[in-house]
Amino acid sequence: MTADSPVAADSPVAADGPVAAGTDAMTRVRAVRHLYARRGDRATVQGRAYLAYLVALFTVFYLVPVVHAASTSPALVPLGSLARATPVACALVIAACWSAQLAGRFWGPLVMQPFVLHVFMSTDLPPTSYLGATVRRRLMYVAAATLLSTGTAAYLTTDLFHHLDTAPAGLALALGLSAVTAVAWLWGQVRPVRDNLALAAAALAVGLAATLLGRSVPGGGGEAGGGGSGVGLWLLAGVLLTAAPVLGRSAFRSVRTVDLARLARESARAAQAQTYAMTGTLHHALDLYRPEPRGFTSALLRADGRLRGHLSQGVVRALRTPARASAAVLLLLIGGGVLTFGAAGAQTGPALSYRVAGAVCVYLGSGWLSETWRGLRDELTLAPLLGERWGGMLARTLLWPVVAVTAAMVPGVGLVLLTEGTLPGGGPVGTLLLVAGALVLVLGARFLREMKLNLPLSLLLPVITPLGDLSGLLFLAWQFDGLVAVVLGILVMGALPDALGAFALALGLALWFLWRGLRRAGWAHRGLFSRLGGRV
């Protein structure tokens, strides 16, 4: 270490603390972490006891009854055989691998407290000495959490673990999935973009190969409650268990070459986002991870200096963040197909789950495709500064997201209607009415979410009920109000017997979301509609 570094061997901290001259790197790293933990944010015995108390209450009063009910009732998503479970497992593996890589690009396992990272970077310690232990511990936590969550979800929703001939394959798949998810999380942070694209393509290829192999083996269908062939599922589990240590070793080797300057910026941004989330402004925390627009700085203007049309402006703004726009289009395509598949089926059961999943994908993609939502919120909240009478504000700002979301959903909707038109339901007209109602509901929920301002003080007050204080539940509902509105709206639509009534309900909910969003922006007084539609 240098003489002026924060934890140099001959510094007062080293002389008075547990670090002495000539100690190894691991001892010095532990000394820094010990000194930082004594700053006052160390977990107390009372805090750990309270956490254990909450876990015990959750286990006794929720988890045990739910597990008992799942073991004594028919499965929500019956798989029946290993061959039928293979496509679902492949889709889960691909989604988990891609999600872990994407999470690593924004908030990876190497992110730590900015102060501690600055101290380590000011020393002569190699990155592996102070990052290695943190990475191993966090990957172990992520793998354990993934194993518990996927295993519990599979047990509660499917019958994969209800039979002795299918449980071993399911357990092997859960182990491989948890290991690969943890490794992909590190891989996404330490490896370059081309390596991440190669891993994503490899996960897709393995999933498709396992699905095709499971379908091509004779007897792969199996009987209900039997194991079936299961070759594809066992192959998938074997590939995951084999690839996890290989990818993990390669990822750990890349830790020593990590860009410390970029890691410092990521850690500072993560600390700021965590502060925002803890103080109640989660949307401000998410804003820190929005991509910076690049290019097309003068494309919004025509050659004569006038602004382009509303749709042209939306296209230009979307192209300024191509990766985000591509992800949004992909989500809208998938969401449109899944939503149509669920709308063409029955109103309850797995079809309703497909409708909820598709609507959630469309909700996420509708926000990623356009920055107009944020511009509309700024225009509404800054109305006293920029003038009261603006010409066609809603038409100018909402034209692009409505048209773009609808156009991006059309290929997925059309593909499902052409290939799965024989599913039971209300026919093509009823299916289109349900899809249109879900689209209107999603756009209304997106408007409600984007009009959100700072945290209301009323949510910080306790709400005493016979079931306890529900202020925390209201706080979470406010944080994710758009997502909650979409899920509850689709469930209520699914309870109606006809498609026309569901569409009318969705339209009414969307109008109510629009009114609530305008009230959030302070536009709830007399003269609202004349202000929105007035001319300059």
pLDDT given at position 463: 76
pLDDT at 42: 62
DSSP alpha helices (H): ranges in 300-349? 310-319, 322-343
Sign of CA pseudo-dihedral 39, 45, 49, 52:
positive
- Residue 438, pLDDT score: 93
- pLDDT for the residue 420: 65
What pLDDT shows up at residue 184?
A: 96
Predicted model pTM: 0.74
Cβ 229 vs Cβ 220: under 8 Å: yes
Average pLDDT per consecutive 10 residues, the chain (536 residues; last block may be shorter): 43 42 69 66 74 84 80 74 81 92 92 87 84 90 93 83 79 93 94 93 91 69 46 88 93 90 92 83 81 77 78 84 88 90 72 89 89 77 56 72 90 82 63 91 92 79 72 81 92 88 93 87 61 48
User: How far is CA 487 from each of CA 78, 194, 355, 376, 484, rounded to the nearest angstrom?
Assistant: 23, 36, 9, 24, 5
CB contact burial 460-480 (16+ within 10 A = b; e otherwise): eeeeeeeeeeebeebbeebbe
Given 3-state DSSP classes, what are the helix, strand and coil percentages for the chain, each rounded to the nearest 5? 70, 0, 30
